Amino acid sequence: MTTISTTTSVPTSGGGSSASQGNSLAAQITRITQQITKLTQQLKDIASGSGSTEQKQKQQELIQTQIKMLQAQLAQLQRQQVEEAQKKQDAANANAPSSGRQIDVYV
């Protein structure tokens, strides 16, 4: 029988500068992506492992549930990353003159 042991941690958001949160988000996204890859490989390995069909099916269901949870966390982190990038873009655009904000002065 193949025993599969995994740990899943829920990312927490805390205070800090947006730059450190951005790095933290990227690190969390990388870590979760690696966990999904590892679990996907374990899912593939179950088929060739020893154990009854029922045991394999239970292990597959457990891993699939963990993958779904990680995918949900990944999607949330990616949304946060997009929102932060949008805020930075908006801040940069607010400081740059645009053709819609120019004032023509005639002397």
Tokens coding 79: 């949304």
Judged against a pLDDT cut of 70, whether residue 39 lies above it is answered with: yes
Dihedral in degrees, nearest 10, Cα atoms 30, 12, 64, 52: 110
DSSP alpha helix (H) spans, the chain: 18-48, 53-95
pLDDT band at residue 17 under the 50/70/90 scheme: very low
0.85 cut: is pTM over it? no
Let me know: does 78 contact 28? Beta carbons within 8 Å.
no
